[in-house]
Amino acid sequence: MKTIILVEFFLYFIVIISVGYMMSRTKMSHSVFILGGKKIPGWTLAFSERATGESAWLLLGFTGFVFASGLSGIWVAVGIASGIIFAWLFLAKKFRAEADKHEVLTLPDYLAVRFGEKANIIRWLATVLIASFFVFYVGAQLAGAGKLFVTTFGMNEVVGIIIATVVILATAYFGGFLSVVWTDMIQSVMMLVTLCVLPIVALVYIYTNDLSISQSLIEAGPTFDSWLGGTTGFAIGVLFFNNFSWFFGYLGGQPQLSARFMAMKNDKDTKQGIIVGIVWTILAYTGAFLIGITAIAIYSQGSFADVETVLPHMILDLMPPWIAGVLLAGIMAAIITTANSQLMVVTSSVSEDIIHKTLGLKLTDRQLVRISRLTVLIAGLTGMIIALTSDSLLYLVVGWAWAGVGGTLSPAILMTFFWRRYSSAGLIATIISGFVFTVIWISSPLDEIMTSRFTTFFIAAFFGILFSYLYPDRSKEDSEV
């Protein structure tokens, strides 16, 4: 069985690297390497956005979370799905229009151009924020790859992390944004197949073996069969906001997702993306939730040393080898797509926002592409080191990154789009307060009471509003006179 699955993994890696290499044969200007040069269809970008947004966190972290918590885990899915649908419906077209209007390639550069009075400070702060959290995000994906190799092949976790790093670096290095998006599209379909097929097979298994999901929920623990986790009073609000809080990170503040909106060619392509993105989200999160719930009926609590390996265990137990290999490759696809996109965000921030725009170095397109590729290697290897030396859970690490970047930049984007009085001082206050507050909050016991994914958003928004009133931009004051 392991031989068949290993062969399928090997073929999958070959296909992904080959697609990345083929994209590298495109005439590679800096703008094409960073944002695709407006050459990618809307439906492809939507598949890529969804694969990027739903990493190993969804297939390993969320399914394990539902297995360990029961029905109340649904509020995570509701929060995330609501945030994704909101972003596609109300922000995607705005991002595309603003990117075209201001001729920008990155989210930090867009904010810098919109608030030109302190443009360079904004680029530096946004880059430090993104790079600080995203290298840990990449590390979390690589740690997920290590878990997958251990569960599937009994392979040493270190070897699995190194293999995943090589594949991820190869695809991002060769073709930049183009290769990442097209490989994302393939991998997004693989992820969706895994999330839709496995729960159906699990439900058939439960039915044919005369198992009961409702009875299993009762036996799993006193809170598993409650949609509110057995909480009452104030604790209901805490549970709801802690789980629903993922919503706030999707409101424009994730640069790896916003880049897909910015890369859209026109409104027609954006409409295609909206349909694909929303349908994909509903199918994927329904499937992931059902996987966690059905696992409770199939396995007893305490069956796994690491609950984040529930999904690969289910695949190996319920599927014939040749199908298991395809579905397990879907998990690896989730890991590779997100890690690639995180690397591209860090790369674009360094090469475009700092070296090209802030420092103003006079470099050719070829030199900028070389710098971008070097940044890919450095960021990827840093993520690998983090994966090799950290024991943190995927769910936890990704949650922190979601708060630090999404919880900080989402209010910044929303106020930039929809509030005319938002100022450059307000933007700087938003970024600094969000960054500092997240680090302090997650380092204290407070994060166990109320997650920073919720609190960071409102703290960053508060300081953004306060400093916008205290220090308005002179250009906006003059225009209102």
Least confident of 73-77, 394-398, 429-433: 394-398
Residue ranges covered by each domain of the chain: 2-392
Tell whether the torsion through CA atoms of 98, 100, 104 and 106 is positive or negative: positive
Residue 116 has pLDDT above 80, yes or no: yes
Quote the pLDDT of residue 480.
47
Within its chain, how far is the Cα of 328 from the centroid? Answer: 19
Neighbouring CB atoms inside 10 A of 158's CB total 14
Residue 324 has pLDDT above 90, yes or no: no
pLDDT band at 54 (very low <50, low <70, confident <90, very high): confident
Highest-scoring range by mean pLDDT, 159-163, 292-296, 337-341, 474-478: 292-296
Quote the pLDDT of residue 389.
79
Contact residues for 305 (Cβ-Cβ < 8 A; gap 6+): none
Alpha helices per DSSP H over 209-320: 213-220, 234-244, 255-262, 267-298, 310-318
Give the whole-angstrom CA distance, residue 238 versus residue 251: 21
Quote the pLDDT of residue 19.
75
Over residues 239-288, the pLDDT tens digits come to 666 777 888 888 998 888 898 999 999 989 999 999 999 999 999 999 99
Residue 328 Cα distances to 271, 315, 324, angstroms: 32, 7, 6
Alpha helices per DSSP H over 103-156: 107-114, 119-153
Percent of the chain with pLDDT over 90: 33
Contact residues for 363 (Cβ-Cβ < 8 A; gap 6+): 355, 356, 371
Task: HSE, CB side, 13 Å, CA atoms: give it for residue 419.
Answer: 18
Give the whole-angstrom CA distance, residue 66 versus residue 307: 9
CA-wise closest residue to 287 among 212, 200, 188, 225: 200
Least confident of 35-39, 89-93, 248-252: 35-39
Tell whether the torsion through CA atoms of 129, 188, 19 and 364 is positive or negative: negative
Quote the pLDDT of residue 152.
75
Over residues 366-411, the pLDDT tens digits come to 787 788 888 888 888 888 888 887 665 555 666 677 788 889 999 9
Quote the pLDDT of residue 330.
75
Residue 477 has pLDDT above 60, yes or no: no
Q: Please state the rounded mean pLDDT for residues 189-198.
A: 88
Helix, strand, coil percent content, the chain, rounded in steps of 5: 85, 0, 15
Over residues 135-169, the pLDDT tens digits come to 887 887 787 777 778 777 777 888 888 888 888 88
Computed over every residue of the chain, the mean pLDDT equals 84
CA-wise closest residue to 145 among 19, 12, 55: 55
Compare 98 and 445 and report the one with higher pLDDT.
98
Contact residues for 313 (Cβ-Cβ < 8 A; gap 6+): 151, 299, 304
Contact residues for 411 (Cβ-Cβ < 8 A; gap 6+): 251, 253, 430, 434, 457, 458, 460, 461, 464
Q: Is the Cβ–Cβ distance between 361 and 394 less than 8 Å?
A: no
The residue type of 225 is D
Least confident of 55-59, 101-105, 283-287, 411-415: 55-59
Model pTM greater than 0.85? no
Q: Is the Cβ–Cβ distance between 106 and 429 less than 8 Å?
A: no
Give the whole-angstrom CA distance, residue 56 versus residue 334: 5
Quote the pLDDT of residue 239.
66
pLDDT band at 21 (very low <50, low <70, confident <90, very high): confident
Quote the pLDDT of residue 264.
92
Contact residues for 114 (Cβ-Cβ < 8 A; gap 6+): 98, 102, 416
Quote the pLDDT of residue 232.
59
In CATH, the architecture of 2-392 is Up-down Bundle (1.20)
CA-wise closest residue to 353 among 100, 32, 119: 119
